[in-house]
Structure 1
């Protein structure tokens, strides 16, 4: 039997091979669901069925990214498992958004199979060529700007990658380089505000309007990423080109606001 909508958590074990307490596993489930926006501790209706259903509605590629960083940050011991004997990797089998059915849990094929089937490194020296999904770029953006929330990260990705084709490796790679040097706020809310101002001027006869700017704060420091100048990857998991340089931004470093030429360009275009 082939499952068409699957997100399961099997019996968890620690890296030392010891069985996890069931209450600890439930805690991990809730923490992961909260990270992705599927769990709110203040709500009464917080059944596993409810937040599992929420997870099933999320794009599988984004789920993979967040789960990988969830583990790296030491929160839990999950892995999405794709393409075992029960779940061939075929888009037609996935009824929720994304291109894969997903199992989250601890099973036999979670090691190298997980690395191989999750992130598709187009220029890997060791793996066959694989296309790179645009949503997978969230992983690398969050590595550069870990202080941002998931909604802020998605906003930043949208600002730089909105018009890039899904599997355009060169353009995605260049966008990551641009984001690495990001020193301006993103202006999704500004675009909305400028349209509202335009409406009030043309439809309501107002001569001017007040524009409120909702700024996204980003890390003031910059990291050096050796992969920027490379053309090939290697066997490290979740590396888009070369491994990230861990030096650079100190943990907890203060955030800093920068002026935004992009926002200014939006204002000029709208005639304000």
Structure 2
């Protein structure tokens, strides 16, 4: 027995000892050295934390190149996340000096070279968020370690400005906005210039992100600024078309912020805002309010990208030619709207309280308000068509979730997918629906047992949490996480989620303009997981029927 123990110790130490390492890496700013984390026999992941990709940015200005450093930068600690308001909106935290990135490089017996690269953008409604270290209770949700190790890809996560500092805009050239998008672009360009030194292939870069991060990926694809800098893109539950992703009236917001910080709203406003303390500016962002059926919470998100004539030279729908050669994989969770609808309808969160039909109708009225009573009647008739005369609570609640999911996520995401497929030259298109039941659903848990994949439920599976923290998950969750990592990293490697280093459970059909194919992803996949024309009735309602109606304004009724 002792001999076996000694043998195991020797083998393990050999594995650790012979795990390859990049050592000191030369970048354009100077030398960096990371930390090697053994993953098993002859495998390790080398992590570089907190490498600057741009200088500390000026207030409401585009990022500038980093001046560089002397000596070796020990890249072993995460940088601060970008300055932002706290969840309670009573204080700020983070730093103005926040344009840093983290890199995870997997190695086998030899130092890696020419690996595919995946760059991650976090979500948070363009108001909050970060990928610099633990998010909650020491759980670092966005660690690239599992993806890098299992998929043999390099993972990069990036800091970008949010809130007023990232997205305040006058709607013209005096304060064009989109500073957070410029930060992301600067990081993409840095990776393109430097990643070869870390063993990455600068000609095989994939962007991926979720929610506002997914919308960010969409904007980066559409911008002419990124030509040739990346090859593929993945949007999870967010695209440029989402109603919360593009501000069409930024002037109103900037004047409100100026009023709060004591700046005039005339031609002196921009100079005054730029000279205002960054924390004061952050605190002056419009409040994100608790939603109600008449004023859904998501409508209080007012700081977001704008069409600036520069980064976004035109409306997103007119820019898809810029993405014609980019491979695109995008999708939604089947109950992405649950998180939002359950906040907007007060009785929703209480399992023992009835949700009133009137509340569902009021929520739908808020989302269709530009089309007045006519739009509401058409939309409500569509959503209640299978109700019968006495709808049960589950039917009413499910419909409320469907309305939020369709309007906020599903229809905009599918619109972007279909436009990409229609405009593609060499770029391929793939569409998915994640339908894994929520871990919070069931008896003794906060959600009803019919609740599927809620907003952000995809993150834990993409980032391999069921492997990193196995006690919190079951075997089915490890299966699902393995499937998603396989599809995502195969896609990053080859542009086809079915082909690469990892075996997948079901062939994912390419989405074409003729068939609108998609894959339903969950732990129990089989041949029937592939489908087409996802929720086509409701896509038609939101993307065609409602927009074709004349717009209604309150003044029309006078």
* Same topology, TM > 0.5: no
**TM-score with structure 1 length normalisation?**
0.34
User: Which has the larger Rg?
Assistant: 2
Q: Which has the higher contact order (CA 8 A, sep 6+)?
A: 1
Q: Under a length normalisation based on structure 2, what TM-score does the superposition of the two structures give? A: 0.20
- The structure whose residues are more often strand, as a share, is 2
